[in-house]
Structure formats: C-alpha cells, structure tokens
Structure 1
C-alpha cells in the first residue's frame, strides 16, 4: 500500500523540475479566449452605435441630396442647350471624396474612376491638372499621379455640405491660376441606400460658353459669361458634394452593419470554443481527482 502511494505521488509530480502543470496550457487558452471575447463584444458595441448614427444621418443626407440635385439639373439643362464646337485639350479633373473612413470602398471607387478617365486624357494632354476634395482620395491619387495634383482641399462638408462650401472651392480653383479648357467632376452617384457608382460631370468654362452657338445668338455683356461659368461650377460642385456625402453615409451604415454581423458570428464561435475548453478543463480536473482518490 505504501509503495502504491509513493508511485502515485511520483506520477503526479512534473517530469522536469519547474515545469508547469498539465492543465496550465488549457487555463492560458481559456484566459486568452475570455479576453478576446471581451474585446470583440466591445467592437460589436462600437459598430452598432456607428450604424445607428449613420442611419440617423442618412435621412438628413438624402434630403440635402434631393435639394442639391436641382442645382445639378439646372446645370445639365444649361449645358445641353449650349454645346461646344471645339473639343477641349486640357481638362481639369475635380475629384470629390471626404476626409473620413470606415465607409467601404467609396473613396477607392472615385480614385479608380479618376485613374480610368485620366488614362484616356493622357493621350491628348498628359499634364492635365487634378483637384482633390478630401484626404482619402488625396492619399490614393498622390501615389498614382503625384505630378498632376494641383490643388487639394480638406475639411469640406464635415457634416452636410453647403453651397457656401462649394462656392469657396470654386472660387479658389478659379483664383489658383490653373490652366484648363474644360472641367470634369468625378464623384459617387447615389443609386439606392445599398448601392452607388462612380460618375463624371462635365462643366463648361467661360471660353466654352462664349464660343457656344446658343450664346452667340444673344447680345450679352462680357462679365455675363464669366459670372455664369463661376456660378455653374459652384452648382456642379455642390451637387456632387451632397450626392457623394449621401453615398458615404449609406456605405458607412452598410459597412458597420456587416461589421456587427461579423462580430456577432465571431462571438458565437469564440463562445463555443470557450465552452468546449472550459468543459475539457473541468473534465481533466475531475479525472485527476478521481485518479488520486482511486490511488488512495
């Protein structure tokens, strides 16, 4: 009996001096799973809160977009009735994005569309300037087309873009001294609450309006076409800003919704692993207790 007790004690001791018990690895794994579960639950709370905020802002952004589209429709009607006869050689590309992230591929969509239309323009004039609104597209296009970036803007439309923001951007572009024959605005077009696509908008310059047959038929003062072109540019930028803002908010809501669902799935998976590990640790402890009791 004494020999059996001695052998049981020797068998229960670690084989190497200072070695960890057999269930130490399981306890560490359970601790890691518990910490990871806690962090994923915190992330889920954040993404759900951001989704609720984006859902609240989306209605406001859609109302602003509906009002802003009227400015764009007025511009489109004006340009349809005043076509240009001579094609433009040098284009100014105005890229409309924002400074905020966590909204899916909104900014990448605009940057890819800019690179695509700029590749077509490179055959005519490889030095066409680019103006970027928003830090996100600025970071992407500065790597792809660093020599063509002429102007950049940030902190535009932090909440809902206003016409004053668009007028300020248009005024700075005109006063910057950048040479161009026509203007192309690249922005995100709002299709529905779950989809959008990159689109372009052509804006006529002062010289293009003067040379248009529709305007030549009327006698107008010299400053009329200049003021009209500046106002048309501000209108077009404002329409692109509000529509891009609506696309950004809807994309952020969808991104946070997907992130919340992924976090919920991860929580379920981690909880299952934690329960299995805890059950295995308890089973091992019971086996050790029963083995020790049998040895005694």
Structure 2
C-alpha cells in the first residue's frame, strides 16, 4: 500500500511524463538541427551553382565550335541526297550520367516516348523544322544513364545498346567517333540515324530536337550520289564520318544545355533554401521567446508564492 502511494506521488520526471518546458526544448532542438542541415544544403547548392557558371562559358564555346560539324553535314545532305524514307531508322537519344539539372533528361525522354506513341501535337522536328517519320518498332540506342533508366521502363523492347561515361567533361570528337564505331559494329540494320538531343535556345531555355543522318545504303540510293562515279568505300566512309560529325554536334549542344540547366536548378534550390532558412529562423526565435517567457512566469510565480 505504501509503495502504491509512493508511485502515485512520484514527480513527472520519474513517472514518464515530461514537463512543458522539456517538450518545448525538444522542439527547439529539432528546429535547430533542421536549420543547420538546410544551411549546409544552401552552401552545397551555391557551390554547385558557381561551378556550373564557370563551366557554362567553356561549354558554350565548345558548342559554337562543334555546331559547325552539324552545319557542314546539313549542307552536304541537303544538296546531295533525296528525302529519307520511313524504313529502318535507328534512334540515338543523348542524355548524360549526371543529375541535379532539372528536367533536361526528361525532355528528350518524353519527346521520344510521344513520338513513338504517335503524338502529333509535339512531334520530333529535324534541323529543317520538319517532323520525323517514326516506326514504333524502330531500334533505340541511348547515351547516358539517365534517359536509359527512363526509357527502359516503357520501351525496353526497342533498346539495343546504351553508352555511359561519355561527356563527363566537354565532349570531344573522339567520344563521338567511339560511339559511331560501336553503332556500326552493333550490326543493327538502318538506312538512317535519327539523333534526339536537347537544342540550346538560350541560357534559360532548351527544347528537344532531332538530326537525321543517312546511312551507307541510303547514300547509295540517293539521286545526288548516283550522278557521280565513286569508289566502293566512299559512301561507307562518308556515312561513318557524317554520323560522327552529327553525334559530336549533338553531344556538345546537349552538354551546354545540361550545364545551363544545372546552374538554373542550383540557383532555384539556393533561393528555396534561403526562404526555408528564414522561415525556420523565425519559428526558432518564436519558440525560444516562448520558452524564455514561460521560465520568467515560473520564476515570478515562485517569488510571489514566497
């Protein structure tokens, strides 16, 4: 009976219940830890924004130089080949292995999905602003792990080959030549190659686009090349070189879009972290003032009771 009365009269700290001040202090501690973590995140996003801003100028210079390869290809095929047919198209989707750059990888993925699904409201457009005719069974090759993971969930039957560790820094022509060599050695039959990539519009915007390059068989059948006598290996070498040029042009432009998108994404993340820090700081100050007020009330009440 005495033990029961002792337990009944035990103070709140021994009976398992915490006083109101302890509950407030725990809340303040949680806010303080969260505030510290958000400040650390802000430091990281600001650092990544500065790095992306530094890399953007280099990426844009490489893009301007690399786009000349694509311009030369367009002039050759515009004056020497007939319109491409809809059969045996091979699609190469260009993304990268890195994230934290907004929806730039989803841009080419969604454009590819919609084009293969037959959507007419937003078709893939080539460099001449014409829609690319697509067969739903066309093979796909992907450069970059990001679009690979997205496309493999819904279009695994079309996937033939994937590439990674390409364009970790500014892409080079050697990277494009290596991809071209593997595409040719893969043995996937095609008359033309459609390269889907992000087109650089400005420092804050980009859009999915496509480059279509004729293959060896397509060059041999075109009226422009039939008018001349050429060696047997000429069309093969020209097709390989043209594909490497187009891939290189698309790689450097997609890389510039990625760096620009990462800078914008980190800028937005830093602003959001700054707003969150302000909100948490105000919440912490209010909680701290309330705790101090409660302690003063307890002190004054105790003094008055004495």
- Is TM more than 0.5 here? yes
State which of 72, 90, 103 in structure 2 corresponds to 1:74.
72
Write the distance in 1 (CA, Å) between the matches of 2:214 and 2:263.
Answer: 35
Confirm or deny that 1:58 pairs with 2:68: no
The question of whether the paired residues in 1 share the 8 Å contact of 2:116 and 2:135 is answered with no
Structure 1 residue ranges without an equivalent (≥5): 1-12
Cα distance in 1 between the residues matched to 2:136 and 2:164: 26
Q: Is the 8 A contact 2:86 2:134 kept in 1?
A: no
Q: For 2:231 and 2:18, how far apart are their aligned partners in 1?
A: 92
After superposition, what is the alpha-carbon deviation per residue over 1:55-85, rounded to whole angstroms, capped at 9, x for unaligned? 0000000000000000000011111112325
CA contact (8 A) 1:85 1:211 kept: no
CA contact (8 A) 1:54 1:253 kept: yes
Superposition TM-score, scaled by structure 1 size: 0.92
Per the alignment, residue 169 of structure 1 pairs with: 179
Partner of 1:98: 96
1:188 maps onto 2:198 in alignment: yes
Q: Which residue matches 1:4?
A: none
| Runs of 4 or more consecutive aligned structure 1 residues displaced over 6 Å after TM superposition | none
Q: Check conservation: 1:98, 1:156, Cα contact below 8 A.
A: yes
Q: Name structure 2 gaps, 5 residues minimum.
A: 1-10, 120-132
Alpha-carbon separation, structure 2, partners of 1:247 and 1:114: 18
Of 233, 243, 248, the match for 1:238: 248
Instruction: Give the aligned partner of residue 108 of structure 1.
Output: 106
Root mean square deviation, CA, Å: 1.6
Label 1:261 to 1:134 Cα distance change in 2 as closer, same or farther (>3 A).
same
Between the aligned partners of 1:18 and 1:160, the Cα distance in structure 2 is 62
Of 29, 48, 58, the residue aligned with 1:31 is 29
* C-alpha contact 1:93 1:183 (8 A) present in aligned 2: yes
TM-superposed deviation, 1:205: 0.8
In the TM superposition, residue 127 of structure 1 has moved relative to its aligned partner by: 2.5
Question: 1:147 aligns to what SS in structure 2?
Answer: helix
Aligned residues: 283
Which structure 2 residues correspond to residues 147-158 of structure 1 after superposition, within 5 A? 147-158=157-168
